[in-house]
Amino acid sequence: MVDESRSDAPPRRVAFFPGETVADAARKAITFGAESLLRHQNAAESGEAEPLHQLRVATRRLRATIDLFSTVIYAAQLKIYRRDIPWLGAQAGEVRECDVTSELITARAAKIDLDLKDAIAPIIVALGERRKSEFAKLCELLESKRYRSLLSKLLHPAIKKVGADRRLGLVAAQLIRPATRGASRFGKRLADDAPALVFHKLRVRLKRLRYELEMMAPLGAKRHKKTLARLEELQETLGLYHDVTVAAAWLLSYAETSGAPPRTIVAAGALIQSLGSRENKLRRRCMKAWRRFERSDAMRDTLEEMRQAGRLNLMAVTSSAAADARESVPLDQSRIETEHPPSNNNSMNSHSATETIA
């Protein structure tokens, strides 16, 4: 089995095909997501940074899967999914943000006064203590009855019968459209004075859209691949901006409440100033990247490509099945039917009429 927790391990993905039903695709995707969650959980319990990151990614992919198939999941179970998957992801995120903030502060320390570099040591220690606390909460969560119940429901999803028998190739674009609308709604709100939360929500929705498109990759073509590459690039830029805003906010809270030595407080202020300059540059870059993506009409073209590819692929599957059915007819029976076509009333009447006239 591939160890997905390793950074060099090839990622595993669930893939759909045009001929399968929405119900089959939903069960496969949700079950796959639960199994992936279990694999990363076992690795994440070691406390290492990369397995914890992959656990968080697994929860995000599961959220995208639930959103994609929300119309065919029974309401009671859907409510649990939408409550408990974010609960798990948020706690894994708390640990992950400690790692990211620590790395970012260490890197930005090279850009402040050299005399203050040593003064950041208490800041890194404080982040380490916070990480220990958040990791202990995560381990407690993973041992909880609530989490075990969530896993059980994910491994045995309750899928509706009505509407779930549609062929995926014909409705794939329709299933993805809500994610495109959600991203567009927050993209339109980007502005110089927009709060950082708007950028974060756009990033979350673009990430879900990307995950949904990755699942649907067999139903797309060239435009699909280009759009995925653009989404990944845009998501990366928004992610850098988010990391900087989170680090700056944490440093400000630390400076106000920690009671750290004066030199450490001065170092925290210098780091906040350095991060602020970086934040302004990334904010402008995010807005430009979004506008380029929006002007490209990438999603509109991708959805249309998916609709066409879904219809063509489904026609190919249907034609292949029909050919297999014809080939399965016994040779002798086929020859008999060809050499002696069955009679019908019209041919019999025609023959009788001919005999009468003669």
- How confident is the model over 11-40, as a mean pLDDT? 89
The yes-or-no verdict on residue 95 having pLDDT over 50 is yes
- Region 75-100: mean pLDDT is 96
Distance separating alpha carbons of residues 303 and 78, to the nearest angstrom:
26
Residue 287, classed as helix, strand or coil, is helix
What number of other Cβ atoms are within 10 A of residue 267's Cβ?
27
Tens digits of residue pLDDT in 270-312: 999 999 999 999 999 999 999 999 999 989 999 988 888 767 7
Band of residue 251 on the pLDDT scale cut at 50, 70, 90: very high
The predicted pLDDT at position 112 comes to: 84
Residue 356 clears pLDDT 80, i.e. is over it: no
pLDDT for 326: 52
Query: Which of 69, 74, 93, 90 shows the shortest CA–CA distance to 215?
Result: 69
Within-domain flag for 347: no
Gap between the terminal Cα atoms of the chain: 81
Does a structural domain hold residue 286? yes
DSSP collapsed to 3 states, 228-271 = HHHHHHHHHHHHHHHHHHHHHHHHHHHHHHCCCCHHHHHHHHHH
> Residue 139 is part of which domain span?
22-317
250 in a structural domain: yes
What is the pLDDT, as a whole number, of residue 319? 54
Q: What is the mean pLDDT of the chain?
A: 85
pTM of the full structure:
0.81
pLDDT digits (tens, 9 = 90+) for 179-190: 999 999 999 999
Beta-carbon contacts of 62 under 8 Å, excluding residues fewer than 6 positions away, are 30, 33, 34, 36, 37, 81, 85, 154
Is residue 13 domain-resident?
Answer: no
CA 324 to chain centre: 37
Q: In this predicted structure, what is the pLDDT of residue 290?
A: 95
Per the structure, how many domains does the chain have? 1
- Residue labelled with tokens 């896993």: 151
The pair of structure tokens assigned to 20 is 């399968």
What is the per-residue pLDDT across 42-73, written as a single tens digit (0 to 9) for each?
889 888 999 999 999 999 999 999 999 999 99
pLDDT band at 355 (very low <50, low <70, confident <90, very high): very low
Tokens of 279: 């934040």
Residue 128's CATH number: 1.40.20.10
Per-residue pLDDT for 358 more than 90?
Answer: no
Please say whether the beta carbons of 12 and 28 come within 8 A: no
14 vs 151, more confident:
151
**Residues 13-37: what's their mean pLDDT?**
90
| pLDDT band, very low/low/confident/very high, at 316 (cuts 50, 70, 90) | low
**Phi/psi-derived region of residue 259, left when phi > 0, alpha when psi is between -120 and 50, beta in every other case:** left
* Residue 131 banded pLDDT, cuts 50, 70, 90: very high
pLDDT tier, 17 (very low <50, low <70, confident <90, very high otherwise) = confident
The predicted-structure confidence for 178-233, as pLDDT tens digits, reads as follows 999 999 999 999 998 999 999 999 999 999 999 999 988 878 778 889 999 999 99
Query: Within a domain: residue 148?
Result: yes
In this structure, is residue 350 part of a structural domain? no
On whether residue 94 sits in a domain, the answer given is yes
Q: Is the pLDDT of residue 329 over 70?
A: no
Q: Which residue has the higher pLDDT, 347 or 151?
A: 151
Residue 2 resides in a domain: no
Q: What is the pLDDT of residue 11?
A: 57
The span from the CA of 287 to the CA of 191, in Å, is 7
